[in-house]
Every structure is written in structure tokens, then in C-alpha cells.
Structure 1
Amino acid sequence: MQLPVGASADTWLVLPRNPAKQGAITRVNLPDHWVGEEYQQLAIARLVDRWIKVPMEASRIHLTNAPRFMEFTPTPQPPDAATWRPSDNPYVMHVGDGPGKTPIYAQTETDVPHLAVVGGSGSGKTTTLTVPLVHNRTHGALVDIIDLKRMSFTEIGDEHPRGIAGDPTRPSRTVSGVRIHTRIEDAIRALAEFVASATAVALMQQEGMPTKHLPARVLIIDEFGSFAGGAKQ
């Protein structure tokens, strides 16, 4: 920031009593000569993150005239868990809740109908993938699951005494409308079948042929990196 020697920190950094509290505003006052290019703003944001020790985001940036400043607030955090909300529309799928428990929906008819679930080990990726499995089966879609680690979708419940996608100890884990593929050869065939089916439906629609009577097809790949590596080999 090129501040003069001996500048007071209180003049340039205004901290609330609890800067990590939602809605609290941390303000960085900036000198008049400060240009505020993008890389400089990013540097300030990183310093604020380091000071506050919680994820922060710039809520207001004023650089057009004096007094110049940047304001930061804690990044809203999603809830630790969300109760799944069933949907009567096969193309509207509840995928979780955002900050303030605002429901988030995937609009698979208008948006690109591809979802990626990213997270660290044990973060609940497979559990999250249960949502498209249950939602689409509820609406009559046929679901293929590629599960090379053979441990996915094994949740046990009253309605699924052998696991949500079948008994993992048996060679065939199929339940009604769901096929699970645990060998790389079978997984590649399932992908080829899925692509061929999607292509056929697209061609039928181009020719004006009805497709509403055809069941939707959904492909779920658990551990995509493992599948891609195995398929390449």
C-alpha cells in the first residue's frame, strides 16, 4: 500500500469486535495514490483472510474517489446437513441447501444436465450422489452406476435391507431399474450404451419423432478419476 513510515494501523484497518461473525464488516482504508489493480485487490483480500482466519469476501470496493476503501464480510457458509426435498418435477432436483438454508435445485431440462460432486476423502460425495439416484428412480428413469471400488450406495434401511443399490457381497447388485457395474469392461460398455441411447433420442427428436414414452437414462460414475484411468489402460 506504500504507506508512510510510522502509519497507524488503526487508521487503515477497522476491525469489528468479532470480525468472524456473519454480517460483521472489516474495512481496509486505502491511500489516495493506491491504484487498486486486480492483483493488488487480490493481495489485500488474501491478507484479510490471513488476519481474520475465516473465509472472507469483498462486499464493497470503492476506488473512484476519496476516501478509498475495501470492505470485507465473512463468506456465508452452507449448513452442515440438509433434508432432501422430493420434487414432483423430474427435471427439478433438490441438491442441497445454501447459506440461510436456501434450497438449491438443479434444473436438468434447461441447464446442462451434468453434475459433478467434488470433495475430500470422507466428505460425503457418494452420499450426495444418492440424490440423483433416488430422484430419478422416483420418476421412472433407468439408472446405471459405475462403481469400481464396489462400496458405493450400500446404505441399509427398512426399504433397502440389502443396500440402496443391492447387496454389495453378491456379483449382481441390481435392484429394480438400477444396474451397477463394478468391472472396468462392464463400465465401458455401460458408458457406450448410455451415449448410444442419448444419440438415438437426439436423432429421433430431430426427425420429429415422439420420445416422451421412452424412460429417461441416468449414468452415475463414482470416482470418475479411477474410471477414466482404468478405461485408458
Structure 2
Amino acid sequence: MSSKHQSPRQSLNASPLPEPKPTKSIVASKVPTNADANVIIRDLRHNYLGVEQVTRLHDKDGKVSARVRIDFTSIKLANAALSKGYVLIDGKQCPVQTYQPPFCYRCRTEGHYASNCSQKPLTEQRLQDLFQQQQQQLESMMNAFESKWNERLSSVKTSSPTNVNLDKVIPVLKDLTSICQQFNQQNVQMQQKFSSVINHLQDLNLQASVEQTRVPFPEQNGH
């Protein structure tokens, strides 16, 4: 028997991660680290059409890696170079793959990773701000209601307990009903906010684990 309820992981999968897009760039690996980018580009232009630029890639420590980024003038020419699975550099077969620019799973834009994102991350301070906001809103509602309640009660007070003007009591009861509805609405809104926070945290955790599996290609010129 199937269930309509989704697990948190299924819910996250409902927002799929972006598919890799075709680009005009490829990455070649196993390139000698002592090979100069200017020499590499001359070699590549001799064997392949549309080679526009070659950039040495560095590892996370800033050291020259055995990878280079090769930019072509069109996606078609980049795919043509990819078709054999390697490019010839200095007579050697260097494996190639499509270059994917850094992608930030926090702001969902290309050009950087989440670790370098300028967008304000969701922190414990943000959660405290939400709780404080909730408290201030509830206190404001309570103070407004208490003021109105006291005002209405003073207007229905009489010398005789049996001589109560029902026309004045009814608005007080309506106010009480209204404030209860507002409390309930406020509670629902805050529950939605906190649910969004929880889902966002789960999403960030999942996406961070995916990001760690991607090979970062810091773009630094070795010229």
C-alpha cells in the first residue's frame, strides 16, 4: 500500500540539484606540473580548433596541480575535444572531462562555493532572532489586548452584579475570541518559519555533502 507522505530525504529530493550544463571549457588531467601554460596552448592549438585559453589549476593549498582548464570558442568545439576522452599535450594523452564552474548551494549561483558565499548563513543567532521576534509579537498582542480588555471591563462595571449590560459584555467576548484567533494564526506562522529553518538546514547538510564530492578547480593563472 503506497503512502502519500514523504520522508525528509524524499522531500529534499523533490528539489533536485542542478544538472551539469554543457560549457565551452574542459579540464585535462595528468598534465606535467612543470609545463608552462603558454607552451601548452601552442601545442593544443596545433592539434585542436578553437582553443582560446589555457589556465593552470591549483590545489586547495595553492600548489600547481596536474590539471589545466582549456577554454574553447564554442561548446561544439569543446565537445569535439572531449569525444576521444583525452587531448594530446606534448605527445602525451591527458584525460579530459567537462569543466563545471563552482556552484554555491547556499545562494544557488555559479562562480563560488558555499564556503566562500557572501550570503548570510543560517546560524544559531538567526534562530535566536526568530524566537525573540516571536516573543516580542506575542507580548505586543497581549499588551494591546489587556489594555482593551481593561477598558471594556471598566465600562460594564455596575453597582449591582445582576445589573449587567449584555450589549457591553458581548464586545469583550468578541475581543477575546479575536485575540485567540490571532494567537493561533501567529503560532501557525511561527511553526511554518521553524519548519522552513529545519528544512533549510537539512538541505544545506545534504548539499554540502554533495559539494564535497565535487572536485574544486580554483582558477589561478600560472602565467
Q: TM-score, normalised by structure 1?
A: 0.19
- Greater per-residue strand proportion: 1
Q: TM-score, normalised by structure 2?
A: 0.19
Query: Larger C-alpha radius of gyration, 1 or 2?
Result: 2
